[in-house]
Amino acid sequence: MEGNVTCLLIDDDADDQELFQYALKQVFPDVNCTFASSGPEAVNILKDDHYAIPDYIFMDWHMPYMDANECIPLLRNAAELEETSIFILSGIEPLITQETINDLGIKRILKKQPSIESLSDELFKAIKEAGQ
């Protein structure tokens, strides 16, 4: 992977945020992660000029205030995300149609893993498949 990689993780669980960053750094040591605990917070981050547009966004499907179905269109409106790959990373696979996945521009749905090693492997595969 060339250069610095940036990720935004949207998840209301601080432990999941920490595990995500640790797992991602296992396979991409130079990754720069920003965290949001809700959809509205993520939208505010993307509107803030102090933050770079992330290369990848990972988000839990079920969150307080708004779920990913509501959040993704707002994220896309808040920033230029044409080059940003969006993944769902959720403990329970959301019940959504392939049409919704396509309409929202979701690259892939990932299940949270029981170990750091398996989560690292899933994140590595997803990012490599996204082509960067």
pLDDT of res. 85: 93
Three-class SS of residue 109?
Answer: strand
pLDDT of res. 5: 84
pLDDT of res. 63: 83
The Cα-based distances of 41 to 59, 69, 74, 123, 132 in angstroms read: 12, 16, 11, 23, 26
Three-class SS of residue 116?
Answer: helix
Confidence check: pLDDT of 98 > 80? yes
pLDDT of res. 3: 58
d(CA 56, CA 3): 14
Average per-residue pLDDT in the chain? 89
pLDDT of res. 1: 47
d(CA 71, CA 12): 14
Q: Which CATH superfamily is domain 16-120 in?
A: Response regulator (3.40.50.2300)
Do the beta carbons of residue 55 and residue 3 sit within 8 Å? no
Higher pLDDT, 121 or 96: 121
Q: What length does the chain have?
A: 132
Enter the tokens of residue 127: 């990012």
pLDDT of res. 42: 94
Most confident residue range from 2-16, 51-65, 113-127: 113-127
Query: At CA 105, angle to CA 116 and CA 30, rounded to 5?
Result: 40
Domain ranges, ordered by start, for the chain = 16-120
Higher pLDDT, 132 or 124: 124
**Residues contacting 44, CB < 8 A, separation 6+:** none
Higher pLDDT, 62 or 39: 39
Confidence check: pLDDT of 132 > 80? no
DSSP string of 22-89?
HHHHHH-TT-EEEEESSHHHHHHHHH-TTSPPPSEEEE-SS-SS--HHHHHHHHHHHS--TT-EEEEE
